[in-house]
Structure 1
Amino acid sequence: VGAVASVLGIYFIWNIKEVHQKRVEKEKSGIGLHTKKTMRLPHLKMLTFLSLIAHAILFITIFGFSLIVASSLGVPEKSFIWLTCAFFIPHALASLGLVFYEIESRFNKRVLSICFGLTALLLVLIPFSESLFSLSVLHAGIGLTLGFIFPLLLSEVVRVSPADLKMSAMGFFQSFYALGIFLGPLLAGMIADSIGLNEVFIFTGVLSLVASLLVIWVVRR
């Protein structure tokens, strides 16, 4: 199956047509000025911070401590696949759904706020899970909400960036959300060692709630 997928990938890549676009004339400016212009883009820093939190949630949960919770419940390792599928199938369907149904940009922040809020609720409920089924249901919800959050954040970055700064804005966005991938699990591990495993998910839920409140604050301004 993997070999067939690889062959199909080669075929599609071979048939990609190069689209020649007119080069956008840019003002001759130094790297410092270009960086300042990028940093001044409206809401870019907020969107980057939200993405940092979202990636921290992703790597704290299904790529990290969720499997430890499952193990503590007595779930055998061969059954971890059900938890993983419960997370990633809704996650993929949510992202795929946005391909066919485009949310109006004026609703993006509201959807983000709702998704972060629901994620916070689901995260704080994880310590109360008593079976693989209940744990999988909670992770299905988290996978679904994150499946909306990631593409909507990318969409917002593109929307707030002018043509001559889109590449710089995307580079800024991607470089800083990588901190969430690193710092999220690191802080979660410190909390797990010093306090306990349940507190990891409460901490992560608080992070998600902060993100939700931040979006609400921006919408109301």
Structure 2
Amino acid sequence: MELWKRNLYICWFGAFCTTAGMSLVIPFLPLYIEKLGVHNEATIERWAGIAFGATFLMAAIVSPIWGKLADKYGRKPMLLRASLGMAIVMTLMGFVQNVYELAGLRFIMGAVSGFIAAAITLVATQTPKEFSGRALGILSTGTVGGTLLGPLLGGYLADIIGLRHVFFVTGAFMFISFLSANFIKEDKQRFKAKKNETKKVDWKSIENPRSVIAVFFTTFILQLAVMSIQPVVTVYVKQLSNHSEHIALVSGFVVAATGISNVLTASRLGKISDKVGPQNVLQVCLIVAAILFILQAFVTRTWQLFALRFLLGFAMAGLLPSINSYLKKMIPDHLAGRIFGYNQSAQYFGNLAGPVLGGQIAAVKGIPYVFLTTSILILLNACWVYYQRHHHMTKKAA
């Protein structure tokens, strides 16, 4: 097996374990908080929000820092650090005695993270250019798959082996990820030549820095749009179903629909982006995603919502891999860790802002307006990406 393929498969496994571990406790987090001695419902919800958001907030803050260290010392050390650190923290969560310790460990969990950004950077810089889109597409299926299966697996394990033991199982999986990362082989020659690079990102060394900033914004809007439905999906399904007795189950299928089609399509769209260019795939998928979000505002049956969410996954599958492939083409290798770290931060901030925005819009205007708002944002985003591309091409021709 070629070296870049072996690295890709190892990073895929680590990305899957990392995202699954970060989202695995979501289904039973309120139950765990109640078990720790908090019994008031409002207080439980408040602490659940703090514990959930703490990980993503800290991860968003520290991602560029770990990216900078990855540029200096290599990506493999960052993979080892993140996987081992998260394995230890996740295991410790199984021993907490109060909600303060849990919230603190969730903060630390976000602080020691950085596996995804390091994995994306390693795959992007170590994979031959003609296969980079396909490789990043495959890697994204690990991230999406972990996010999709994490909550389902966590809820199942909580019923079978108990709440505390779920943390031990997750810690074990992350430790396996740490062991597998030891088999990654990275070409460090370029890092040895770049030891004296400036401590800050030299935007002048990037051919089109405005497009890089536009990509960060695109990533943020995408995650915001995907996550905006999370707090309202159960209510929306209930409105559409009228007398259904399995609201929770149907809601789970609706949420999972996007992830399933995403996993099925990401590698193929990545392969297409290698042929036609990631920016073209990104442009088309943004427009398609915006249209599908608009249509979701006007559904009258649950199966219609499920079908549109499933189709949305095909469009979403071409977005994040294309963004990462596009970034790779625009930035020099010695800045890859930091740039991908910033992009990962944008993604985490989208994870935080999406549920907040969706919940507020639904409360004030109604659930259909959640889809209309996100579709407008994505359409504006598509226009901005087109403008940046056109401006860059005109400037380059001149």
With normalisation by structure 1, the TM-score equals 0.83
The answer for the alignment partner of 2:327 in structure 1 is: 157
Structure 1 residues 210 and 86: alpha-carbon distance in aligned structure 2, compared to 1, 3 A threshold: same
Q: How far apart in 2 are the matches of 1:67 and 1:96?
A: 30
Q: What are the equivalent positions in structure 2 for 1:1-221 lying under 5 Å apart? A: 13=180, 16-22=183-189, 23-26=191-194, 28=196, 31=199, 34-37=200-203, 42=208, 43-61=211-229, 63-74=230-241, 75=244, 76-98=247-269, 101-104=271-274, 107-221=277-391
Q: Deviation per CA, 1:186-214: give whole Å up to 9, x if none.
A: 22222222222111111011011111111
3-state SS of 1:55 partner: helix
Q: Aligned in 2, Cα 1:17/1:205: closer, same or farther, shift over 3 Å?
A: closer
- The answer to whether the 8 A contact 2:212-2:327 is kept is yes
1:29 positional shift: 5.5
Distance 1:164 1:11 in 2: 25
Counterpart contact for 2:292–2:308, Cα < 8 Å: yes
**Which SS does the other structure have where 1:128 is aligned?**
coil
Which residue identity lines up with residue 146 of structure 1 in the other structure? M
Q: Structure 1 pair 86/175, CA: closer, same or farther in 2 (3 Å)?
A: closer
The Cα RMSD (Å) is 2.9
Q: Deviations over 1:57-77 (max 9, x none)?
A: 11113x343333112212522
TM-superposition CA deviations, 1:104-157 (whole Å, max 9, x none): 375322221211111111111112111121101110121111111011111112
Q: 4+ runs of 1 displaced by more than 6 Å?
A: none
Whole-Å separation in 2 of the counterparts to 1:145 and 1:28: 41
2: CA distance, partners of 1:214 / 1:178: 21
CA 1:174–1:199 in 2, change beyond 3 Å: closer, same or farther?
A: same
CA distance in 2, matches of 1:108, 1:14: 28
Measured after TM superposition, the shift of residue 37 of structure 1 is: 3.1
Relative contact order (alpha carbons < 8 A, sep ≥ 6): 1 or 2 greater?
1
Aligned equivalents of 2:178 and 2:341: distance in 1?
29
Kept in 1: contact 2:257–2:310 (CA 8 A): yes
Question: Once the two structures are aligned, what percentage of the paired residues are identical?
Answer: 19
Q: Return 5+ residue gaps in structure 1 as ranges.
A: none
Structure 1 residue 39: Cα displacement: 9.4
Amino acid at match of 2:258: F
- Contact 2:233–2:255 (CA<8 Å) still a contact in 1? no
Q: TM-score, normalised by structure 2?
A: 0.48
Q: How big is the shift at 1:24?
A: 3.4
Paired positions, count: 215
> 1:37 is matched by which residue type in structure 2?
W
1:217–1:186 CA distance, 2 compared to 1 (3 A): same
Instruction: Answer with 1 or 2: which has the greater Rg.
Output: 2
